[in-house]
Structure 1
Amino acid sequence: LGTQARSVFVGGLRLPEITAMTVEKAREFCEALRLEGYKGEIAARIVNEVSARLRFLANVGLDYLTLDRSADSLSGGEAQRIRLASQLGAGLVGVMYVLDEPSIGLHPRDNRRLLSTLCHLRDLGNTVIVVEHDEQAIWAADHVLDMGPGAGIHGGRVVAAGPAATVAQHTESLTGQYLSGRRAIALPRTRTSADGRPALYLYGARGNNLKSIDVEFPLGLMICVTGVSGSGKSTLINDTLYPIAARRLHQVHIEPKPYAEVEGIQWLDKVVDIDQSPIGRTPRSNPATYTGLFAPVRELFSATQEARSRGYMPGRFSFNVKGGRCEACQGEGMIKVEMHFLPDVYVACDLCKGSRYNRETLDVKYKGKNIAEVLEMTVEEARAFFDPVPAIATKLQTLMEVGVSYLKLGQNATTLSGGEAQRLKLSRELSRRDTGATLYILDEPTTGLHFHDIEQLLRVLHRLRDRGNTVVVIEHNLEVIKTADWIIDLGPEGGAGGGRIVAVGTPEMLAADPRSYTGMHLAPVLARHAPKESPAICAQRA
């Protein structure tokens, strides 16, 4: 802002000082603002409008954000909820809203407020369609469409439809089985104890809203870091713990957020951050190339009698090098058409028809399939196809275990969601040898996962733990939290009201702590194990 704009005061504050506030603080400021005379008359309508929009932001769980927060620093879930809040302010009627997993990144406490907001949108006379795996959201819906019964080739049809209670009783619905409690993610029979174990100690963490906290991470456990949205979880783990460990163990030059001291790094030999960033930004990257699966597949094709007779080496079956690839599209399978004043359009290559390879390369077949047909297989189909080849079957089995059996081996990496990219990274780590002294860090790995997929994922994470590794998970999903060995709960609120350790201990210890919002929501889950009903979020439509 220019000098003149920065010279205007409202309620004793300038605009930069107001925009530096969180949504909650700005709302309190507006409600407490008292302007006299003509100033009050001019400002009344404006202040009411601003207060209403701030209230909408708070209702969708964003009261911890500062008003001057850069848009590119927002998560996908936060950006989506800001757009939702703007629609609430518009007051439109007769609109169909489509939301894709709006509960991502929300604590169960904040999720209830979001669902109440969606119900309010419906009550205004709108239609709200939500793609969601969250149990609270499913029970809050007036009508549920359950797709399946499985993923990929095993899905694609409506298994059950109707109110959640009807879906819960449907025998073929996997979702219904979990809703009714006929099937459940079980509690571990025993939890790995923190007693007598070496630990990693982080002292004086004070980045962003952290209040110079001291944190103990018992090693060899599955640890969940919990807390309401904006409580400081990502700052503690992604911005402080991971950079410290990466600098010490791998000499990576990442600057951690401020802290005083760290102890216990000597017990670790590796740290791996399995985040949701893309595995590749070009069509040349895919699940087969990223997981290392493509190399043994190419070697297998080059070992066929046809390939040997032609003198083809493994490189012949790569779409990244000259020789075997289609030169018209240079192995991309697509041709970019530049459009003036419009986004570029990609069309299938006329020469190779999208296969990426030239005709000579496609003549070579293994068990009746050429290399392009293999890349078109899903992970599940490829697992059966390559069952006699251990080097390939083992990697494919790991991909199935992390819940991506429906992905195609050659699927463009740019089409993968953040959750899918994260599970591919997890699969790659599982395929590697570990020494039992690795620190794995995962940020909300259940994003986009059904109850059944979460159950599979937990088996994988517990297996990493059982090898002696430490698994630190930032998570809101109570089904994951209840299976943890140890929980570190931050809060009590988001933004300036957070950044403190509220409670630490086992899930049972947290559930008994009245100070913890996480414990408050965790207690009934531990008590019933398999929830048969959910408390009403908003009034159901007849």
Structure 2
Amino acid sequence: DEPSVGLHSRDQGRLIETLKKLRDLGNTVVLCEHDAQTIRNADWIIDIGPGAGKHGGKIIFQGTPKELLKSHILTGDYLSGRKKVEINVRGSKLEVRSDRRTSNIQHPTSNFLIIKGAKEHNLKNIDVKIPLGKFVCITGVSGSGKSSLMNDILARALMRKFYKSKEEPGKHEAILGCEHLNKVALVDQSPIGRTPRSNPVTYTGAFSFIRDLFSKTKEARIRGYRPGRFSFNVKGGRCEACGGQGVKKIEMYFLPDVYVQCSECKGKRFNRETLIVEYRGKNIADVLEMTVEEALEFFKNIPGLFQKLKTLNDVGLGYIGLGQPAPSLSGGEAQRVKLATELSKKATGKSLYILDEPTTGLHPHDIKKLVWVLRSLVEKGNTVLMCEHNLDCIKNSDFIIDLGPEGGDEGGYIVATGAPFEISKNKKSYTGKYLKSVLKT
């Protein structure tokens, strides 16, 4: 299942050769994958779609890579180059972009975040300058020190400075330039919650708007129901048989716990009296079963709620259910729910967004949506910093910090810094070598 996750294009080539050797020994290799390099090297491709969620589930293509290139489906369009992940920001309008040839960070008004003497794990006492107000990618082969630099040192140090986090930052001398920031958002892939009580609308705050709407209906006012009545976390309106979870947990002791649907509420989470109240013909359980896409249309005349739902849709999560339990979301989906939550907050223009491989598990079409969102954040004066291997994402950045040259003890150095086109000309950079091919197409 997605063996390319976390791999640099150089390492991905080695993985492909290993898979081919397994095949040549008479074995069958089946994998789910979005990586273009891997798809091109497959013998047979099965493409499922055409969309996600209820819009998917159909086989829309079966055949060889050559046949896929000729087919007019999304995967074929991106693989052949008919469609590209290319975004540019001009003024406030996002348009198709030309290659970003040089970085403009030498402008005298540019500010920097500077990490001095980074030496956590394999980092070789390096000084790193991160331009602020830009889309910055930290790249390098697997094990080159990217996570040590961004997560262990920078993220932990800033979380301690701004939010008094108790996590100890990795070894470094100092971080300069913090005065240019007033907010730091760490958008990682950890779960948004570990129980069915947590879901996309509770995490983003959209559920408060929904509960408020239901409490203002005529039926709710007659019955004296307040917004809390429509919460499955509060006694009164929820199903008490399952505590508002919609499922009951069966402990299996030496095996993972099993969840079964509540026989009392049939998974609806609320009691009969609460479900009597309807807003535009839907009760609270019906609304939680809607997808983000459906809810956008249903609540289009409620500005505050519409905006929160729109951000979920903008990051490519239109297919998920409003009340989808947090444990059922993948790491990539959880990360995008967090990103949507940050997007719905008022922009300060001095925010730093830190993301670790946000393209994990994404089709090129979804990567294009994500890059659009990230570039729009930068357009407002914010800084986006991420560790990334996906070339489509990297080529759309303003500035690259490439670590290496290898992984482990042979890594931890700065190999190259600059705009994507500048990196592509650097013969010492593995990232530059592979970036050159996507900048040409």
Please, what TM-score do these two structures have when normalized by structure 2?
0.95
The Cα shift of 1:482 comes to: 0.4
Looking at structure 1, the residues matched to 390 and 185 of structure 2 have their Cα atoms a distance apart, in angstroms, of: 22
Residue by residue over 1:258-282, the C-alpha shift from the partner in whole angstroms, topping out at 9 and shown as x without a partner, is: 1112211111111111000000011
Determine whether 1:156 maps to 2:57. yes
Residue by residue over 1:192-246, the C-alpha shift from the partner in whole angstroms, topping out at 9 and shown as x without a partner, is: 7212201111111000000000100111000000000000000000010112222
Task: Percent identity, please.
Answer: 57
Looking at structure 2, the residues matched to 195 and 344 of structure 1 have their Cα atoms a distance apart, in angstroms, of: 56
Looking at structure 2, the residues matched to 216 and 177 of structure 1 have their Cα atoms a distance apart, in angstroms, of: 37
Looking at structure 2, the residues matched to 165 and 382 of structure 1 have their Cα atoms a distance apart, in angstroms, of: 39
The Cα shift of 1:249 comes to: 2.3
The Cα shift of 1:337 comes to: 2.1
Equivalent residue for 1:117, pick from 9, 15, 18: 18
Partner residue in 1 for 2:428:
515
Partner residue in 1 for 2:210:
297
Partner residue in 1 for 2:371:
458
Aligned residues: 428
Partner residue in 2 for 1:281:
194
Q: Aligned with 1:203: secondary structure?
A: strand
Determine whether 1:185 maps to 2:85. yes
The Cα shift of 1:421 comes to: 0.4
Residue by residue over 1:341-384, the C-alpha shift from the partner in whole angstroms, topping out at 9 and shown as x without a partner, is: 54332111111001000000001011111100110111101111
Looking at structure 1, the residues matched to 259 and 162 of structure 2 have their Cα atoms a distance apart, in angstroms, of: 43
User: One-letter code of the match for 2:308?
Assistant: K
Partner residue in 2 for 1:409:
322
Partner residue in 1 for 2:168:
255
Structure 1's consecutive aligned runs of 4 or more residues displaced over 3 angstroms after TM superposition are 187-192, 339-343
Looking at structure 1, the residues matched to 22 and 238 of structure 2 have their Cα atoms a distance apart, in angstroms, of: 52
Partner residue in 1 for 2:67:
166
User: One-letter code of the match for 1:518?
Assistant: T
Determine whether 1:194 maps to 2:88. no
Looking at structure 2, the residues matched to 384 and 187 of structure 1 have their Cα atoms a distance apart, in angstroms, of: 27
Q: Quick one: structure 1 residues 340 and 256, their matched pair in 2 at CA, closer, same or farther if it must change by over 3 Å?
A: closer
Equivalent residue for 2:296, pick from 383, 391, 398: 383
Alignment of 1:97-246 (within 5 A): 100-171=1-72, 173-186=73-86, 188=88, 189=97, 191=100, 193-196=104-107, 197-246=110-159
Looking at structure 2, the residues matched to 213 and 359 of structure 1 have their Cα atoms a distance apart, in angstroms, of: 63
Alignment of 1:388-467 (within 5 A): 388-467=301-380
The Cα shift of 1:247 comes to: 2.2
State whether residues 87 and 371 of structure 2, in contact with CA within 8 Å, keep that contact through their aligned partners in structure 1: no
The Cα shift of 1:141 comes to: 0.7
Looking at structure 2, the residues matched to 207 and 426 of structure 1 have their Cα atoms a distance apart, in angstroms, of: 27
User: One-letter code of the match for 1:446?
Assistant: T
Looking at structure 1, the residues matched to 145 and 308 of structure 2 have their Cα atoms a distance apart, in angstroms, of: 36
User: One-letter code of the match for 1:419?
Assistant: G
Residue by residue over 1:148-174, the C-alpha shift from the partner in whole angstroms, topping out at 9 and shown as x without a partner, is: 111112111011110112112112x11
Alignment of 1:476-515 (within 5 A): 476-515=389-428
User: One-letter code of the match for 1:267?
Assistant: H
Looking at structure 1, the residues matched to 47 and 407 of structure 2 have their Cα atoms a distance apart, in angstroms, of: 34
Looking at structure 1, the residues matched to 376 and 241 of structure 2 have their Cα atoms a distance apart, in angstroms, of: 46
State whether residues 118 and 127 of structure 2, in contact with CA within 8 Å, keep that contact through their aligned partners in structure 1: yes
Residue by residue over 1:302-326, the C-alpha shift from the partner in whole angstroms, topping out at 9 and shown as x without a partner, is: 1000111100000000001110000
Determine whether 1:319 maps to 2:232. yes
The Cα shift of 1:253 comes to: 2.5
Alignment of 1:352-367 (within 5 A): 352-367=265-280
User: One-letter code of the match for 1:285?
Assistant: S
Looking at structure 2, the residues matched to 330 and 245 of structure 1 have their Cα atoms a distance apart, in angstroms, of: 38
Q: Aligned with 2:30: secondary structure?
A: strand
Looking at structure 2, the residues matched to 381 and 491 of structure 1 have their Cα atoms a distance apart, in angstroms, of: 46
State whether residues 250 and 270 of structure 1, in contact with CA within 8 Å, keep that contact through their aligned partners in structure 2: no
Q: Quick one: structure 1 residues 302 and 113, their matched pair in 2 at CA, closer, same or farther if it must change by over 3 Å?
A: same
User: One-letter code of the match for 2:358?
Assistant: P
State whether residues 288 and 322 of structure 2, in contact with CA within 8 Å, keep that contact through their aligned partners in structure 1: yes
Looking at structure 2, the residues matched to 434 and 271 of structure 1 have their Cα atoms a distance apart, in angstroms, of: 12
User: One-letter code of the match for 1:195?
Assistant: Q
State whether residues 306 and 364 of structure 1, in contact with CA within 8 Å, keep that contact through their aligned partners in structure 2: yes
Q: Aligned with 1:271: secondary structure?
A: strand
User: One-letter code of the match for 2:142?
Assistant: S
Q: Aligned with 2:243: secondary structure?
A: coil
Looking at structure 2, the residues matched to 409 and 155 of structure 1 have their Cα atoms a distance apart, in angstroms, of: 18
Looking at structure 2, the residues matched to 344 and 101 of structure 1 have their Cα atoms a distance apart, in angstroms, of: 26
Higher relative contact order (CA 8 A, sep 6+): 2
Residue by residue over 1:516-536, the C-alpha shift from the partner in whole angstroms, topping out at 9 and shown as x without a partner, is: 0000110111112xxxxxxxx
Any gaps of 5 or more consecutive residues in structure 2? 89-96
Q: Aligned with 1:131: secondary structure?
A: coil
Looking at structure 2, the residues matched to 272 and 414 of structure 1 have their Cα atoms a distance apart, in angstroms, of: 22
Identify which range, 238-247 or 289-298, moves more after superposition.
Answer: 238-247
User: One-letter code of the match for 2:46?
Assistant: L
Looking at structure 1, the residues matched to 68 and 438 of structure 2 have their Cα atoms a distance apart, in angstroms, of: 21
The Cα shift of 1:404 comes to: 0.7
State whether residues 152 and 407 of structure 1, in contact with CA within 8 Å, keep that contact through their aligned partners in structure 2: yes
Alignment of 1:29-108 (within 5 A): 100-108=1-9
Residue by residue over 1:475-502, the C-alpha shift from the partner in whole angstroms, topping out at 9 and shown as x without a partner, is: 0000011011000000000000000000
Determine whether 1:306 maps to 2:219. yes
Looking at structure 2, the residues matched to 377 and 409 of structure 1 have their Cα atoms a distance apart, in angstroms, of: 6
User: One-letter code of the match for 2:377?
Assistant: L
Identify which range, 447-456 or 156-165, moves more after superposition.
Answer: 156-165
State whether residues 187 and 482 of structure 1, in contact with CA within 8 Å, keep that contact through their aligned partners in structure 2: no
User: One-letter code of the match for 1:103?
Assistant: S
